[in-house]
Structure 1
C-alpha cells in the first residue's frame, strides 16, 4: 500500500507494526509514535537541524523555499539503491539491523507521488503513470511539534487556494529548517484535514532534487 495523492492521513497502523517495540518519540499534536531517526547535523546550525530550538527562532517561510523539480526517494528504497544507507545507519547508530532500518524507512517513504514540481505558487503532483495535477497553494502558517525525546520539528502549512479535482486541501513541509532557506530535500504531508494531518508522524514521503541519481541521494543521506 502506497500513499496516493488523494489519500489523507495514512499508514499509521502499518507504520506502528513496522516499528514494533522500537523506542520512539511522540508528537504533541497527536500521540502517534514516530521514531525521529532522520536528524541532520549541519555545521552552521546543528542544534536546529537536530530539533533543538526556541519558539522565538521560528520564522515564516514562503513556498519559494521549496521551489524546483523534486523526486521521491521511495523507488530507490524499493530497488535497493539505499541499502548502503541503512547499513551505514546500523553501523553508526547501532540498536537496529540494516533490515530493521529499511523496514522503518519503507513505511516512512511510501508514496505513489513520484515527482513534485513547485513553481511560484503552483504545486504539481505526478503520480505513477498519470499526468500531473496542479494547484495554487497559499501560506497558512506553521505548527511546532514536540517529541517525547525533547527534540522538536516545524511543519510549514500551505492551503489550496481554489478547489481543484484530485488535489489535497493542505500540504505540510518539514525539512529540519525553521527560517527562510532553500531546501535541499523535504518531507511532505498532505490531506484535507489540517489538524488531523498534524498527527501523521509515521508516513513522511521524502523528496530530493530530480537532477540527482539514486547514488547521489544515498551519499547525501549518509553525509548527514
Structure 2
C-alpha cells in the first residue's frame, strides 16, 4: 500500500514538472514573438519616416538677361509630409545667407538682376529643424551686348570705323547648333509673334523671312583651337582656318555690320575656302550666337545678305534659345 502511494506521488511530480517546462517555453516563445513584432513595427516606422533627403533644384537656365524671370523648383528624392520651405540667397561679395522674401513653398520666382547670385532651398521638419538642404545654384546674367547706349547702338549696327578691332577665332570656340530645326518644328513661333507686336510684319511674314535666313543643312559646328568641324547630313568634315581680316558692310537701312573672315589654311575635303562670322560684335569678345557665311569666293560671300545660318550653343534647349531671342 505504501509502495503504491509512492509511485503515484512520483508520477504526479513528473507531470507537474513537464507542465511547468511547457509553460516556460510557451511564455518564452510568446515574449520572443512580441519582441519580434515590436522590432518590425519600429523598423517600419523608421522606413516610413526618413531622417533626411536630398533636394535638387530644377529649372536653372544656362544664363539670363537682366529683367528675365528666374523660376526654380525644389525636388525631393523622398516622400515626406513636411512642407515648410525657405529659400536663401547670397550675392558673390557676401558671406552670410539671407532669407529670400516672398518665396514660399517649393518654388522660387524672381527677376534676374544680380549676376552671380547664389540660391538654395531648405526644408524644415515639424520642429522647425533643418530636414534637408540643397546645394546652391548660381544665377548667371549675360546681357551679351550690354545695356548702355553705346552697346545698344553697336548691336543695331551704328558705330565708327575706328571702333572695329581684329578678332581671334577663339571668340567663337565651342560646340554650336543650328537654330533652323527650331523654326521648322514651330518652337520659334512665340518669337515671331513677339516681333510682330513691335514690327511691321505679321508673325507669318516674319517666319517666312527667317526661314530664308536660317536655312541650312549644316546642323552643328564645332570650333576648337583653329579647327572647324561641320556636321552635315550625318557626316563630319573638318579644316584649319586662319584670320583673313574683316570687312565693314553697309545695309539698305543705313546700319552696318562687320564680317570677320577666316581662310582655309590647308586644303580639306568638303570644307569651304572661307568662313565669315557676323554676330553684332565689332571687337574681341566671346560670342553667344552668330550668323555664318561660307563658300569659296571671298567677295561673293560679302554680297550674301538674305541667307545667314545662325548658331547657338549646343547645350541650349528651345526654351533657352527663345529666351535669348526675346531679349533682343
* TM class, shorter-length: 0.7 to 0.9
Aligned partner (choices 149, 153, 156) of residue 47 of structure 1: 153
State the SS of the aligned residue for 2:222.
strand
Alignment coverage as a number of residue pairs: 183
Report the equivalent of 2:177: 71
Report the equivalent of 1:116: 221
Shift in Å at residue 41 of structure 1? Answer: 6.4
Aligned partner (choices 186, 198, 201) of residue 290 of structure 2: 186
Report the equivalent of 2:320: 216
State the SS of the aligned residue for 1:216.
helix
Residues 45-74 of structure 1 deviation map (CA, whole Å, 9 limit, x = unaligned) = 111111000000000000000000000000
Moved more, 40-49 or 213-222: 40-49
Report the equivalent of 2:42: none
Aligned partner (choices 99, 102, 108) of residue 207 of structure 2: 102
Report the equivalent of 1:125: 230
State the SS of the aligned residue for 2:252.
coil
Shift in Å at residue 162 of structure 1? Answer: 0.3
State the SS of the aligned residue for 2:246.
strand
Residues of 1 paired with 2:208 and 2:234: CA distance?
Answer: 25
Answer yes or no: is the 8 Å Cα contact 1:42–1:49 preserved in 2.
Answer: no
Answer yes or no: is the 8 Å Cα contact 1:69–1:210 preserved in 2.
Answer: yes
Answer yes or no: is the 8 Å Cα contact 2:257–2:280 preserved in 1.
Answer: yes
Residues of 2 paired with 1:157 and 1:141: CA distance?
Answer: 6
Shift in Å at residue 42 of structure 1? Answer: 3.5
Distance 1:41 1:135, change over 3 A: closer
Answer yes or no: is the 8 Å Cα contact 2:145–2:281 preserved in 1.
Answer: no
State the SS of the aligned residue for 2:311.
strand
Stretches of structure 2 that go unaligned for 5 or more consecutive residues are 1-143
Residues 130-167 of structure 1 deviation map (CA, whole Å, 9 limit, x = unaligned) = 2x111000000000001122210000000000011100
Aligned partner (choices 258, 265, 269) of residue 165 of structure 1: 269
Normalised by the size of structure 2, how large is the TM-score?
0.55
Residues 12-56 of structure 1 deviation map (CA, whole Å, 9 limit, x = unaligned) = xxxxxxxxxxxxxxxxxxxxxxxxxxxx96314111111000000
Shift in Å at residue 128 of structure 1? Answer: 2.4
Residues of 2 paired with 1:215 and 1:87: CA distance?
Answer: 15
State the SS of the aligned residue for 1:220.
helix
Residues of 1 paired with 2:259 and 2:284: CA distance?
Answer: 13
Aligned partner (choices 231, 241, 244) of residue 140 of structure 1: 244
Residues of 1 paired with 2:220 and 2:310: CA distance?
Answer: 10
Residues of 2 paired with 1:62 and 1:145: CA distance?
Answer: 20
Report which structure shows greater RCO (CA 8 Å, sep ≥6): 1
Residues of 2 paired with 1:191 and 1:86: CA distance?
Answer: 29
Q: Does 2:311 correspond to 1:207? A: yes
Aligned partner (choices 186, 194, 197) of residue 88 of structure 1: 194
Shift in Å at residue 217 of structure 1? Answer: 0.1
Distance 1:223 1:188, change over 3 A: same
Greater Rg by CA: 2
The within-5 A match list for 1:29-44 is 42-44=146-148
